[in-house]
Structure 1
Amino acid sequence: MPTKMRSIASNVSVLIFTTILLFAVFVLATGLTMNNHIIEARDNLELEMQDQALVESLYNDSQTVVSDLRAYLAFGRADFLTQFLAMRQTFDAKLNDISDRFQSRDYGEKFSNEWNAILKAWASYRQSSETVIELKKSGSMEEIENMSKTTTTSNVNDMNRNFQTIMSSQNESVQRWLDDNRKRTDMLILLPILVVTGAAIAGGLLVVYLRRKVIGPIVQADAAVNRIADGEYVQVALSHRNDELGRLERGINFMSGELRQRHVALKESNKELIDQRDLLEAQNEEISAQQVEQQEMLLKLTDRERELELITTYQEKLTGHVEIKAFLNHSVKALLQALHQDAAVLIAENPETSAFDVIYSYGYPQGALPSSYKELFGPSMRVLHEKQAIYRKRQLNADERGIHGGYDTALDQYYPLLDEYSHVIGMLLITSYGASEVDDTLHRLTKGLVRQFALAFLAQTTNEERRKQAYLLEELNEELSQERDSLQQQRDLVRRIIESIHEGMVMCDGGGRILFSNERMNEMFGFDRFSGSNVRDFCRHLEAGAPDKSQLGEFAEAVLNGTLEQVQERFTLALEDGREEHFELYVNSITDPIENTRSFLFVFRDRTNEEMADEMKNEFISIVSHELRTPLASVLGFMEILLNRDIPKEKQKKYMETIYKEASRLSNLINDFLDLQRMESGKQAYQHIPVNMSAVVRDVSEQWQGKQDHRIDTAIEPEVFVTADIDRMTQVMHNLLSNAVKYSPTADRIAVRVAKDRDYAVIEVQDFGLGIPEDAKEKLFNKFYRVDNSDRRQIGGTGLGLAIVKEIIESHHGTLTFESELGVGSTFRIRMKTYRATGMGGKVVIVEDDENLSKLIAVAFEKLNVSTVQLRSAEDAVLSLRETTGPAPLICIVDIQLDGKKLGWDFIAELLQHPVYRNTPVIVSTVLEPPKHFHETDTGKYLRKPFTIDRLLELAASLMEPAQSNPTVVFPVQDREAIATKLEEKGIHVTDLKIKRDIIEVEVKKHD
């Protein structure tokens, strides 16, 4: 049975529904995905900020503990000691609680080094504090001072440095989550735009599809029908569609052809009638007697003509059909009309089930015939075996009697359907209701027409099979095309994977003929000239350039012959510039189980970097061993002398000074190792503040003045500021001056210059010593690298100083360059962007080192259309205040503990001493308790963290409001009854009381 094609309406409905469904699924999935990401980022952000607040609280408590102990040591008051002991116990408990909390999360691994350092430093400080207290009680201040230099101060610095490292990492984590949340939110805003755009595109595509596939063909068919109605004979171009429009095109063409043929036939018939009329008129008198006979003959001719027209129509219905259903529907009905029969059924054997299927029926009551017969019997069976027509008269059942029940009998005519070789292909049963016998003429005519029908049915069936085969071939071709594309994609993917591998790869057959090589082989060995040759020749070529006399040619030969089990070989190649490259060769055997062939994959791996790493590791071990052993030997030697001999006090002091010096040297060496490791791993925390490099360079130069008989000549411009970590920049200058002094043993001076070059600060350190050889310049900043020649053998060092300098300068987004001439000297030059102060005039100034809180406050004020300035340090705020001109800042929100050495109080003091801006409102924002000497004023308020942004905005708005002509009296105590009573006693009548967070505003009568 032919497949039923879907209608245009069904196709359009499916298209619209599919488009809407896919679009809705896409929008819903996108929205849910983005919403889940935003929720996850928000939860992680809240968790990170909670942990950050805990660490900051713990850090502040440590500062309070240290301050209390120092206050006790300074003043000796018992209340300070009591406060210290209580605070120390509180700090112990909080430290243990936070440690347990962090261990339950990934902070135990994330900050394990810093946290362990804090615990260790605190334990040491706690133990030292007991000793210090006892010493204070006994009045041994010198011993306390010695312990401060050696133990307590270093413990406090270690705790502060590690706290700063953890808080810096937490700030970066919080910033990442904030940035991720902001990006997700911005993407979510774009979702409605994408929805509208997608809907517009889908609607446009649907309109284009309808205009092209439906409306256009209908307009074309309508024009053709109108032309046919006007008398033209039009042939519409067929689109070979299987829906209603395709059938309409074929119907229009068929109708036009039929009208043309009928018009020609009518013209011919009209011509014959005219001739006959003329003849009849000429013979009118002769045939008047035969008029009745002629009329009868005319009637017979008319009936014959009608029959011929029906037969012609029937024959036309036998051709021109694409689908077999249309063929049967038209041809069977035309056959019944031509034979004046009432019903027909077509039955053919199904080769798959061996049953006899009813292919088509017409004229029988609904349900009278089954869809298939398992077997045939009686006349049906005989007609298939005998291949002759059989007639049977039968009585009608109730359904076949017609509306009025006018028929009692029916004549069934069984005709076999034969092909051109007289093979039976089916059976056609024709029924005539009310007939009792078959006319011979009608029988002959029926046999001829049935014979034509059989041949047409066979041709149509063959075409149907061919059409189905064509569809199957088309589907098979599509599958083959998809499979070919898939194989092509897989081949391209494998090729890309092979080309992305860092190892060189060569495949050859069992005889060694090269079949394939990747681009890496050409980059490593210039392999293009060996493409298509034998792998043995290539290995022999490599063997010729190997200084270690490797036998690559014999190795390849043995692998190809199968006599070598080892499939790994290392070799070295000597380059023209004297360098050596190290490689490792692997060989894998690949067997094709289908063709039973064998091939080999040669893999060349570059080991040069590994060899260099091993060489650097050995050099590192050698340098570290030497540099560590030298001070350790001195320390152990002098300690052994002090322990085992009686030494005078003068020598004991001298030996102890030597031990201290060597221990300091050892400590500095270890610190250099740790600093470089932190810098390279990105864990070094920097406190970027405005730094006066003129003062830093001048101070360091004074410290090196006269060292090893060197004079430091300085040319320093005043007030050259950069944004940097002052401790790290001090370390940079010490390292550069140390190198300059060490590598100019025969010179007597060092030149140091600081100058401005437009927007850059330029710092130069020039020595007049040994200089740097050309072959050492490119390695100068490598770790542990030291120039090796006779002039430098007696100069100590680890080769870490310049590497640390370069890491620090690049972390500050600066550049470090040098110029050197052998035997003349070297000049090292640092370029960094100069610091630019930010104007504060007419803006809200936020002095806060917590970037998240600073940004949160800035966003809140910007929503009020107020400009803000965000500063991280008191140094930055002081410089910006000095550079500000014009209107005063609207308000200053100042934290106390900031990056850098200055506190928020330093900025506030600078602001209060300013001749123009000293009345600027200030809100002190901090986690610390207010000092005893602090009192709030009309322009100065104290806001302790944590606080809400609404509270901050409310307090800021009250400070920024202009003074009223009748100001409200503000009382610092929230007691409504006491305030009202007190004012009544003074003769002031209260009209309204407004309770706010920490004040009560009282409105009084105007005359009071």
Structure 2
Amino acid sequence: MAFRIRKSIAANVSFLIFATMLLFAVLVTAVGWTMNSHIEEARDNLELVLQDQAFVESLHSDSQTVVSDLRAYLAFGREDFLKEFLDIRQTFDAKLTDVSGHFRSRSYGEPFNGEWEAIRKAWDSYLQSSETMIALRKSGNLEQIETMSRTVTTSKVTEMSRNFQTILDAQNESVKRGLEDNRRRTGKLSLLPVWLIAVTALASGLLIVYLRRRVISPILRADAAVNRIAAGDYALMELSGRSDELGRLERGINFMSDELRQRHVALAETNKELIDQRDLLEAQNEEISAQQIEQQEMLIKLTDRERELELITMYQEKLTGHVEMNAFLEHSIRALLQALNQDAVVLIAQNPETALYDVVYAYGYPPGVLPSTYTDLYGPGRRALQEKQPLYRVRMLRDDERGIHNGYDKALDQYYPLLDEYSQVIGLLLITAYGTDETNDTLHRLTNGLVRQFGLAYLAQRTNEERRKQSYLLEELYEELSQERDSLEQQRDLVRRIIESIHEGMVMCDGQGRILFSNERMNDMFAFDRFSGSNVRDFGRHLQSVSTDTRQLDAFAEAVLDGSLDQLEERFSIVQEDGRETHFEIYVNSIVDAIENTRSFLFVFRDRTSEERADEMKNEFISIVSHELRTPLASVLGFMEILLHRDIPKPKQQKYMETIYKEANRLSNLINDFLDLQRMESGKQAYQMIPFDVSALVREVAEQWQGKQDHRIELRIEPGIHMTGDVDRMTQVMHNLLSNAIKYSPEADRVAVHIARSGDEAVIEVQDFGLGIPDEAKDKLFTKFYRVDNSDRRQIGGTGLGLSIVKEIVESHQGSLTFESELGVGSIFRIRVGMYRATGLGDKVVIIEDDENLSKLIAVAFEKLNVSAVQLRSAEDALLSLNKTTGHGPLICIVDVQLDGPKTGWDFIAELLRHPQYRNTPVIVSTVLEPPKHYYETETGKYLRKPFTIDRLLELAVSLMELPQSTPTVVFPTQDEAAITSQLEEKGIRVADWKVKQDIIEVEVRKHD
């Protein structure tokens, strides 16, 4: 395509650009319209399918609602459910007809005629059955309703749901196909922008070719000519004969070049005259400047000398008056740099201990340039030390030494050896000047003198520093010695206290038997005065005052000292004046002093009386257990042998079997006593503490013993006495006491049991009229395995564990067990335990939870709401507290299902629902279990699965506590904001604000409504 320039360049370029943009706009519009048409077509098809799918889902939901309302009516018999069913049934029937007709009449998709026919048949059959079931519900025939539900209605409902699901599945497939078709169309349409870009690129290329040939190339030739003119050349352009702007520009450049050549000739002549005048003026000016420079140099020298003298004076002042080395180096070296106008310095001295060269002080160098220690010095540093003369070296700078602006390239390093008064080297001072490589003799002479002064001052300061360090070292050494002395004294006192506090008696003697040391325990054990004798051989004679025979001990001590005894252990007994026998064990440790080559002996006396008594108790226990176990086992084995090997008449067989059962039961009880005692002594006995009626428990246990061994149980029980404890363990206590009362009153015919209140305590008394307890046995009565040993009791079986177990159980319930007994008259065993006090639940949040941590957490959360909370661990406790509550009831009950005790949280909830006054109390069931099959949430009862957040619990609790007392007149089955708004407006209530929560919708109404 070729264009001929007829107008100006600007007009032609504008026309071409406009034509190109117009072509681009037309193409974009066409492509956009095409793509939009295809996308709208696919979207419309997809919206129709989704709309049909919504119709089916709504119809399916309505069918479930109808079924739910009918089932609710059949289950509860409430007329509001029946009315709701009849209303929705008509609506659903009409909607079913409309939706199925819509699917048959539509021109797209599948009509699903078979499925809609199946749904209609199932619905008609369900309607017929529902009429029958409603009639049966009104007549109360629930069994026939259940039969019809299993055989007819359930299958119809299932068939409707299955066909609805078939239609929905097909609709989902249609949606997927529509989306896939839309993706294919979009993929094809995506090629249209590519063609658009290609056409646009072609038009742009043609435009660029035109501009380069007709516009840019002439401009470049004009630019080259202008640049030649600017460089001083007089260039003329070849005229193209164009009449546009570029032609005028060519002619203008040629005219400008001619004018510049003519003016240049005129200026050259004028400039020659001016140069001659300037030379004359410059000669005069140079003469004046030389005089001024000479005067300024003289002034600068005088000023520098004055400043130099001031800096030297200040530097000399900095060399004295410092106590510490660091302060001396800090002030003197910086003053030295300032006096010499240098940039950096480092002081290096040889460490006499390590023979290494330490960097004593450095200033002005970048971090990390200098190490802290040099193994040896090389180059100029080593040469300066060896020659004892200063050296100067110029070096290139590292990158980190070039300054902030990287303006330095070189540095002058000046190595000055430091000498003492004997010309011995004491260190090396390296001074660096950045940005210079020139040496100045005057500056070097000044530097040499100042460095010599610094070396002498540094030597003096180092001498003072060494003396000061020696002084500090002496002070530290003295302090360490003092601490060591105090530590030794403390260790001595500690060892003495340890020796005096141990339970063994200790006597230390030398090789000749002379007593060197004995502790206080020896005096406590044997009334042994550590200063009473000077030789360990006298110890045996000393014990003769408290012992019947000490010859064995004397022989042992003599054998230890003679070294003729291999086994340095011995046991002996001492009979005290009151007849008590104590048992001891003595062993000897030989202590050898390797430095002085001497031997000493440490005699250790250990009291093993308790071990002997434990052995005696163990033997007694084994004897009792073997006797008590063998007796019933012998009876069991004997009668079993008779039953196995002989023909016994049935009456005797029955009698023998009863005897075997009795003895086996006795053996089982004996083993249980042993196990209970072992658990109690090891602290592993677990108690399930719940409130219970102790009066009823005592009465029940007493009735079981009524008539045993011809004994009559006389009861005097005050009813309604409660305590907190383990029901099984307290039952065991009563059985043991009644068993002992009957067992130890063989000649009597009655046992009395009393229970009454005494202040805040419950008092239980078990009285027998039998043998009584001797005075000498009363102190040991509750001792394990203890039995009164006399002729009246030898025929009475037992292990001596019963009362020990009873005492352990009672004391574990914070109670007390005492007794009164008179020999030949009888005994009274008395138990005192604290009575249970019920907690008032009025106007409180009741937390029934056996997890103490969770219960406290919930209580603290409600305290933030300024609400009092009461924590209970068992349903029994909660029921007793509920029965004791009067006036206002609980605000809300948070109940765990699994609790301590036999009763569960459901028992408490059932009792609360039966309560005539508090049955409407809100309840939150808090548990880890799934809801029971027939549990349904109500307005005042909610189910909360663990784990849950405290915020969720508080939100639910507050909503329940704020429920109105009267029954609401508007019920909303779903959280549909539009439906709720319309129904409220029908009642004359206008909505001002919404708060949608998990279970409820809070509606704020306008003030006047």
- TM-score, length-scaled by structure 2: 0.52
CA shift digits 1:154-193 (9 cap, x unpaired): xxxxxxxxxxxxxxxxxxxxxxxxxxxxxxxxxxxxxxxx
Question: Corresponding residue for 2:804?
Answer: 803
Letter in 1 for 2:638: G
Offset of residue 801 of structure 1? 0.5
**Counterpart-to-counterpart distance in 2, 1:741 and 1:527:** 54
Does the Cα contact within 8 Å between 2:632 and 2:664 map onto a contact in 1?
yes
CA shift digits 1:22-47 (9 cap, x unpaired): xxxxxxxxxxxxxxxxxxxxxxxxxx
**Counterpart-to-counterpart distance in 2, 1:740 and 1:533:** 63
Which of residues 371, 386, 389 in structure 1 aligns to 2:419? 371
**Counterpart-to-counterpart distance in 1, 2:1003 and 2:762:** 57
**Counterpart-to-counterpart distance in 2, 1:983 and 1:469:** 100
Question: Corresponding residue for 1:328?
Answer: none
Offset of residue 662 of structure 1? 1.6
Q: 1:643 to 1:474 in 2, by over 3 A?
A: same
**Counterpart-to-counterpart distance in 2, 1:873 and 1:725:** 12
Offset of residue 871 of structure 1? 0.9
Offset of residue 611 of structure 1? 1.3
Question: Corresponding residue for 2:888?
Answer: 887
Does the Cα contact within 8 Å between 2:523 and 2:530 map onto a contact in 1?
no
**Counterpart-to-counterpart distance in 2, 1:322 and 1:555:** 76
Offset of residue 402 of structure 1? 8.2
**Matches for 1:629-708 after TM superposition, within 5 Å:** 629-708=630-709
Does the Cα contact within 8 Å between 1:860 and 1:949 map onto a contact in 2?
yes
CA shift digits 1:647-699 (9 cap, x unpaired): 33333322222222222111111111111111222222211111222222222
Question: Corresponding residue for 1:774?
Answer: 775
Offset of residue 551 of structure 1? 1.0
Q: 1:739 to 1:939 in 2, by over 3 A?
A: same
Does the Cα contact within 8 Å between 2:925 and 2:944 map onto a contact in 1?
yes
Question: Corresponding residue for 1:489?
Answer: 490
**Counterpart-to-counterpart distance in 2, 1:774 and 1:680:** 27
CA shift digits 1:720-751 (9 cap, x unpaired): 22111111111101101111111222233323
Question: Corresponding residue for 1:760?
Answer: 761
Q: 1:550 to 1:777 in 2, by over 3 A?
A: farther
Letter in 1 for 2:506: M
Does the Cα contact within 8 Å between 1:988 and 1:1004 map onto a contact in 2?
no
Question: Corresponding residue for 2:569?
Answer: 568
Q: 1:970 to 1:400 in 2, by over 3 A?
A: closer
Letter in 2 for 1:651: K
SS at match of 2:672: helix
Does the Cα contact within 8 Å between 1:543 and 1:553 map onto a contact in 2?
no
Q: 1:807 to 1:979 in 2, by over 3 A?
A: farther
Offset of residue 375 of structure 1? 7.9
Letter in 2 for 1:510: G
RMSD of aligned Cα (Å): 4.8
Q: 1:774 to 1:1000 in 2, by over 3 A?
A: same
SS at match of 1:505: strand
Letter in 1 for 2:612: E
Question: Corresponding residue for 1:628?
Answer: 629
Q: 1:529 to 1:739 in 2, by over 3 A?
A: farther
**Matches for 1:463-862 after TM superposition, within 5 Å:** 473-528=474-529, 533-542=534-543, 545-546=546-547, 551-862=552-863
SS at match of 1:584: strand
How many equivalent pairs are there?
Answer: 593
CA shift digits 1:68-110 (9 cap, x unpaired): xxxxxxxxxxxxxxxxxxxxxxxxxxxxxxxxxxxxxxxxxxx
Q: 1:699 to 1:400 in 2, by over 3 A?
A: closer
**Counterpart-to-counterpart distance in 1, 2:837 and 2:520:** 51
Offset of residue 819 of structure 1? 2.4
**Counterpart-to-counterpart distance in 1, 2:462 and 2:938:** 106
Q: 1:676 to 1:371 in 2, by over 3 A?
A: same
**Counterpart-to-counterpart distance in 1, 2:468 and 2:694:** 90
Offset of residue 993 of structure 1? 8.7
**Counterpart-to-counterpart distance in 1, 2:895 and 2:444:** 109
Does the Cα contact within 8 Å between 2:897 and 2:925 map onto a contact in 1?
yes
Does the Cα contact within 8 Å between 1:968 and 1:1003 map onto a contact in 2?
no
**Matches for 1:98-177 after TM superposition, within 5 Å:** none
CA shift digits 1:325-360 (9 cap, x unpaired): 9xxxxxxxxxxxxxxxxxxxxxxxx9999xxxx9xx
Q: 1:1004 to 1:374 in 2, by over 3 A?
A: closer
SS at match of 1:595: coil
Q: 1:852 to 1:375 in 2, by over 3 A?
A: closer
Offset of residue 995 of structure 1? 6.0
Offset of residue 935 of structure 1? 3.7
**Counterpart-to-counterpart distance in 1, 2:637 and 2:978:** 76
Does the Cα contact within 8 Å between 1:547 and 1:572 map onto a contact in 2?
no
CA shift digits 1:941-964 (9 cap, x unpaired): 233444433332222111100418
SS at match of 1:637: helix
Does the Cα contact within 8 Å between 2:590 and 2:602 map onto a contact in 1?
yes
Question: Corresponding residue for 1:338?
Answer: none
* Unaligned ranges ≥5, structure 2: 1-320, 326-350, 356-384, 386-413, 425-439, 454-458
Does the Cα contact within 8 Å between 1:971 and 1:1000 map onto a contact in 2?
no
Q: 1:687 to 1:469 in 2, by over 3 A?
A: closer
**Counterpart-to-counterpart distance in 2, 1:839 and 1:751:** 36
Q: 1:626 to 1:323 in 2, by over 3 A?
A: closer
Does the Cα contact within 8 Å between 2:840 and 2:881 map onto a contact in 1?
yes
**Counterpart-to-counterpart distance in 1, 2:534 and 2:819:** 50
Q: 1:576 to 1:776 in 2, by over 3 A?
A: farther
**Counterpart-to-counterpart distance in 1, 2:927 and 2:704:** 38
Question: Corresponding residue for 1:340?
Answer: none
SS at match of 1:488: helix
Question: Corresponding residue for 1:123?
Answer: none
Letter in 1 for 2:814: H
Letter in 1 for 2:878: A
Question: Corresponding residue for 2:906?
Answer: 905
**Higher relative contact order (Cα pairs below 8 Å, separated by 6+ residues):** 1
Letter in 2 for 1:513: R
Does the Cα contact within 8 Å between 2:517 and 2:530 map onto a contact in 1?
no
**Counterpart-to-counterpart distance in 1, 2:940 and 2:903:** 23
Does the Cα contact within 8 Å between 2:845 and 2:870 map onto a contact in 1?
yes
Does the Cα contact within 8 Å between 2:972 and 2:980 map onto a contact in 1?
no
Offset of residue 464 of structure 1? 11
Q: 1:1004 to 1:558 in 2, by over 3 A?
A: same
Equivalent pairs: percent with the same residue? Answer: 76
Does the Cα contact within 8 Å between 1:543 and 1:551 map onto a contact in 2?
no
**Counterpart-to-counterpart distance in 2, 1:845 and 1:882:** 14
Q: 1:600 to 1:883 in 2, by over 3 A?
A: same
**Counterpart-to-counterpart distance in 1, 2:1006 and 2:966:** 14
CA shift digits 1:363-402 (9 cap, x unpaired): xxx99874248889xxxxxxxxxxxxxxxxxxxx976998
Q: 1:687 to 1:484 in 2, by over 3 A?
A: same
* Unaligned ranges ≥5, structure 1: 1-320, 326-349, 359-365, 377-396, 411-428, 431-456
SS at match of 1:572: strand
Does the Cα contact within 8 Å between 1:623 and 1:798 map onto a contact in 2?
yes
Does the Cα contact within 8 Å between 2:891 and 2:921 map onto a contact in 1?
yes
Does the Cα contact within 8 Å between 1:817 and 1:829 map onto a contact in 2?
yes
Letter in 2 for 1:371: L
**Counterpart-to-counterpart distance in 2, 1:550 and 1:893:** 79
Question: Corresponding residue for 2:169?
Answer: none
Question: Corresponding residue for 2:138?
Answer: none
Letter in 1 for 2:799: T
Question: Corresponding residue for 2:58?
Answer: none
Q: 1:367 to 1:639 in 2, by over 3 A?
A: closer
After superposing the two structures, state which structure 1 stretch, 724-733 or 918-927, moved more: 918-927
**Counterpart-to-counterpart distance in 1, 2:990 and 2:822:** 88
Offset of residue 762 of structure 1? 1.7
**Counterpart-to-counterpart distance in 2, 1:561 and 1:919:** 96
Does the Cα contact within 8 Å between 1:638 and 1:655 map onto a contact in 2?
yes
